Amino acid sequence: MARKKRRGLKFKLAFFATLLVVLVATTFGYFILQGQKKAIVKSDRENRIGIVKGLRQVVREAILVDDDTDMVNFIKLLKRSQPKGYAMVIEPDGEIRVHTNFNLIGTTLTDEATQKALVYRNRSYPLFQDLIQETEGKKRKILDLSLPVVIGVNPPKYHGVARVGFDKAEIVTEINRSHRKSVGQIQVAFIVAIICGLLGALLLATFITRPLRTLQMGS
């Protein structure tokens, strides 16, 4: 009878200890996932800011050496990496100097988004615009980033705009892919934690019930 009671106590201790481990692991896992997703979104945003800043730097160098070769090559690179987006360099009057769509080079843009980009003067942080682009009868949501191209300091001379558009559907896809990878890693860690917690709970229950058995034998 006493042995059955000890086993019952041991089972209860192991059960509640395991339940506590599961609860703690689940809670921590949830907050880690939420924090990880925010970090992924932030990292993605910073990467896209880095792309438009990189384009602006290439444009500056092209203007200084009076050679558009590197600028054109950079635009081609962006076209390969962002097939559904776009990249362009706009002159101060709105004329397209370089574009991922070569057919648009030389045309002048007069739309509202372009006008906002042309008057934007913050050189540290790009202008973000949510746009709708229609291509071949299909509408796509675009995240448009632009930065002014300024050379010199006294006085600074304005040379137009470096501008990159990212397909929002692709952004969401990339973020979800990175998030799924993080979820998989956290799930593995969760399973390992549960196994270790279960073993620890069994050991704890054994250590707690053993003195009781000794006392009962002594009595």
Residue 33's pLDDT is what? 74
CA angle 125, 70, 90 (to 5 degrees): 50
Report the C-alpha gap between 54 and 52 in whole angstroms.
5
Determine the topology of domain 66-174 in CATH: Beta-Lactamase (3.30.450)
Taking only the tens of pLDDT, the chain with its 219 residues reads 445 555 566 666 666 767 777 777 777 777 777 777 888 889 999 999 999 999 999 999 999 999 999 999 999 999 998 888 999 999 999 999 999 999 999 999 999 999 999 999 999 999 999 999 887 778 899 999 999 999 988 889 999 999 999 999 999 998 888 878 877 777 777 777 777 777 776 676 676 666 555 545 444
Report the C-alpha gap between 17 and 194 in whole angstroms.
11
Report the C-alpha gap between 57 and 6 in whole angstroms.
74
Alpha-carbon dihedral 63, 66, 68, 71, rounded to 10 degrees:
-30
- Element housing 144 (H / E): strand 138-151
Residue 136 dihedral angles phi and psi, to the nearest 5°: 55, 40
Q: State the DSSP code for 108.
A: B
Burial (0-12, 13-18, 19+ Cβ within 10 Å), 37: middle
Residue 148's pLDDT is what? 97
Quick check: helix, strand or coil at residue 3?
A: helix
pTM of the model: 0.74
Burial (0-12, 13-18, 19+ Cβ within 10 Å), 207: exposed
Residue 20's pLDDT is what? 72
